[in-house]
Amino acid sequence: MASIGSRTKVAVVTGASRGAGKGIAIALGRSGATVYVTGRSRLPADSPHGGTIAETAALIDEAGGRGVPVSVDHSDDEAVAELFARVGRDHGRLDILVNNAAKVIDPAPGGFWEKPLEAADLITVGLRSHFVAAFHAAPLLIANGRGLIVNTGHYGAVAYHHGPAYGAQKAGADKMAADMAKELRPHNVAAVSIWMGGLDTERARAHLAALAPEARPTARRESPQFTGRVISALYAADDLMDYSGRALIGAELGARLGVTDLDGSAPLSLRDRMGGPPELHSSLR
């Protein structure tokens, strides 16, 4: 759905120069939304994996929405505050915030003590930055009368994946969404985590290409746009608030909402192999 009533959706997707954020932003644009795209990459050379906020915004325009690129370093609280002040000046409200910004170093062998200490930055740009974005977004979501905060999640919250910093960030983002949901519920604003499977991203392609051919996984990977399609359907659902506070496996939520990937396939849940979200205390359900 492009709008709720007669109003066009307004969304902010953080960390959307490439990867999951880029796909989510394009999918929201395909539903007709105005999408503010944040990230630090202004030039393709800014990342070894390419991609810029302007490229993502242009693809949103091509998809039928309106892309608004905004250069933001999500470790800079003042820059984040100005982002949402701009959204407030432009629209006075916000429908959807997708917290996806993260500072991830490429996987490397060895224990956490053998890797660069900057791996811990994921807890700053990835967990703390989610809180800061939600802090500034909440008044705009409340003013809208209906809203959704999504933290992009992963099975790494309950299974080993990329090391302790990654697991802590993902598990923390799940609990943060649950607690925010409790406080936002009286305002008709939902907060969830959506766990993504293995994604077909620029970073993933580079990693797989570096592996020996016989070591490369052959399982089909989710399109980065799949999660954006799920988010759009969730926001439009009449029972949106029933999902609030939960960590949700994107493949399972997509099946429930009738959402497929770009090629019409249904991504598979990895619950049996990697685990599922833990049960919340009754006070949060």
Q: Mind telling me the catalytic residues?
A: 166
- Strand segments, DSSP code E, in 177-240 are 189-196
Q: Are 29 and 61 in contact (CB under 8 A)?
A: yes
CA 275 to chain centre: 20
Rounded Cα distance, 101 and 85, in Å: 19
By DSSP bridging, strand 189-196 and strand 247-249 are parallel
DSSP 17: S
Q: Are 200 and 219 in contact (CB under 8 A)?
A: no
Q: Read off the tokens for 88.
A: 């407030």
DSSP for 139-182 reads HHHHHHTSEEEEEEEEGGGTS--S-HHHHHHHHHHHHHHHHHHH
By DSSP bridging, strand 34-39 and strand 7-8 are unpaired
Q: Which residue bears the tokens 């325009």? A: 61
Q: Are 14 and 74 in contact (CB under 8 A)?
A: yes
Strand-by-strand arrangement of the 34-39 sheet? 66-71, 34-39, 10-13, 96-99, 147-154, 189-196, 247-249
